[in-house]
Structure 1
Amino acid sequence: MVSAAPFIAVDWGTTNRRAYRIENGEVVATERDDRGILAVPAGGFPALVAELRARFDGLPVVMAGMVGSNRGWHDAGYIACPATIEALAAGVVTPEEGVSIVPGVCVDTKSRADVMRGEEVQLLGAVAAGLAPADALLCQPGTHNKWAVMKHGAIADFTTAMTGEMFALLKAHALIGSEMAGEVDAGDDFRQGVEACADADLLAALFGVRAASVLGHRAPGAAAAYVSGLLIGSDCRARITQPGQQVHLLADGLLADLYSAAITIAGGQAVVVDSKASFVAGITRIRNLLP
């Protein structure tokens, strides 16, 4: 059952903040700004939240994302896998009356550690809304790409790949960065990169971008898309373990196009899921479970 009581949902990340007024499970108003946690001065969170609530009639607020990290307002901790939406709701912290912060999710074993904060609401929300099956492989592309294995509606396990950040680092600081001009799209150059990473040593293939440019093997402006294909293709090939494997992709726009193409070339089947609808469903379900 969807609660009729209105509330404010906030996805508060590192560089951006999105706020939604939700009534009857539907978004009726939205705000977005660049007041991510890195833009908030020391001690500045209470005032920013108070201002936000004032603009939304003083409604209660449920927040997810980096606002609950050790660099945010209040460290909300992590729920260990397997993590359910009920466990997230039970782990919510309340820094002040009317304000709730959702915890993140972690993998914490002797052999491996991983964390997510914010993505868990979308992943669990996708299942809660029926946008993805209770048992599925979900992918949420981004700077730190998340691959989540869902079992019985819970996040059973997940892996974070630094795909987007690696592209940015290579472009800004690597020898091949000067070659990485031009736009990235899901065209031929990107697809060539995805194909090339199938049998290639990734590190050697990356240096090959420089060599191809020097020897005139690749047209100027094509390298950025090719490198993107190498990185995203490598990421997808590492996760797709069987032909025809279905991947529910929480993305839109260019990222949806790039990952859909790479997943298909790697032998999988991409199913694009509405990430905003997933977040709204997840945060609403959490709100309904709160006291």
Structure 2
Amino acid sequence: MVVSLGPRFLAIDWGTTNRRVYLIEDGAVARTERDDRGVTAVAKGGFEAEAAAVRERFGDLPMLLAGMVGSNIGWRAAPYVAAPAGFGALAEAVLWLDPRTGIVPGLSVVADGRGDVMRGEEVQLLGAVAAGLAPADALLCQPGTHCKWAEMAGGEVACFTTAMTGELFALLRKHGLLAAQLGGEVTPGDAFLAGVEEGKRRDLAASLFGIRAAGLLGLRDDADAAAFASGLLIGGDVGARLAGSAHDTVHILADPGLGGLYALAVEAHGRAARLVDSHAAFAAGIIRIGELIA
């Protein structure tokens, strides 16, 4: 199949619940738009129509897709590329649905008998380095429902780990014994930092029950319980990743809200934190892949 994107193309960061469309012109973002048409909002067999609708709004252009659109719940499953990997490997393995529509593959890794995968984050990780937002050798963190931690070496994704930190917090807030206590706001204050310190004990199951006991015994106001629980989970996540890393700085690809919480936890563990614009990183990454295809 002969393919070419050319200097003008559409890029879509197509996740589970949201997607962001980028109009790329001559190596720069000319227009962008975000909506809630993630893959779970698209009916079976409806992706071709979704792509056509995007082209109606942005122009009848070639399209490069990344994220969960290439998973087994998306448009079509794009095989993973094994890490370590860089832009060249991703560009070569793009799954072409037709000569003008391609899906960037995700990455996989197997280390110490444990497998891990990502889709979409690889474009941001490589893009952060390509745009000069992070060094070629660095520890990068992408907070979210499933937090990604990636070791970058020579500008490539060398290895990575996924932690279900955000999903665990969401489940605790909605179900189970602690749900009634976790309705408060999560703010970067004393309660959050106390949770980070508790996370250093590496005894998550017991520390979680301690939230219940603290409420019953008047040791902590339930209004602070959510912030404490968030600090506990994020602190445990951060501590586990930093324990095996020699990097003195963590580059965090996230919005200032969630990214700021992770930055506090990183600093509480004695390392420096730097926030990175994840949208700028994705744009830089997808543009570079497009250049290699064009």
Task: Bin the TM-score by the shorter chain.
Answer: over 0.9
1:257 paired with 2:260, answer yes
1:82 corresponds in structure 2 to 84
Match of 2:290 in 1: 287
d(CA) in 1 for partners of 2:73 and 2:92? 22
User: Would the aligned equivalents of 2:138 and 2:247 in 1 still touch at CA under 8 Å?
Assistant: no
Cα distance between partner residues in 2 of 1:200 and 1:70: 34
DSSP-derived class of the 1:142 partner: coil
* Alignment RMSD: 1.5
Q: For 1:94 and 1:117, locate their aligned partners in 2 and report how far apart those are by CA, in whole Å.
A: 16
1:25 alignment counterpart: 27
Aligned to 2:233: 231
Partner residue in 2 for 1:270: 273
* Residue number among 19, 36, 39 corresponding to 1:37 in the alignment: 39
Tell me what 1:103 maps to.
105
5 Å-filtered alignment, 1:16-165, equals 16-108=18-110, 111-165=113-167
CA contact (8 A) 1:232 1:262 kept: yes
User: Secondary structure of the equivalent of 1:165?
Assistant: helix
| CA deviations over 1:56-109 (Å, ceiling 9, x no partner) | 120111110000011111111100010111100000011123111100000135
- Give the alignment's TM-score, normalised by structure 1: 0.96
Separation of aligned partners in 2, 1:55 and 1:226: 44
Percent identity of equivalent pairs = 57
TM-score, structure 2 length as denominator?
Answer: 0.95
Q: How far, CA to CA, are the matches of 1:101 and 1:243 in structure 2?
A: 34
Deviation, 1:4, is 7.9
- Evaluate the alpha carbon distance shift between residue 244 and residue 186 of structure 1 in structure 2; reply closer, same or farther with a 3 A threshold: farther
Shift in CA distance, 204/109, structure 1 to aligned 2, threshold 3 Å? closer
The aligned length equals 289
Distance change (3 Å), C-alpha of 1:73 and 1:243: closer
Q: Distance in 2 between matches of 1:192 and 1:244?
A: 24
Contact 1:243/1:268 (8 A) holds in 2: no
Which amino acid is the alignment partner of residue 267 of structure 1? Answer: G
Quote the offset at 1:113 in angstroms: 0.3
Partner SS state of residue 262, structure 1? helix
Q: Distance in 2 between matches of 1:100 and 1:144?
A: 25
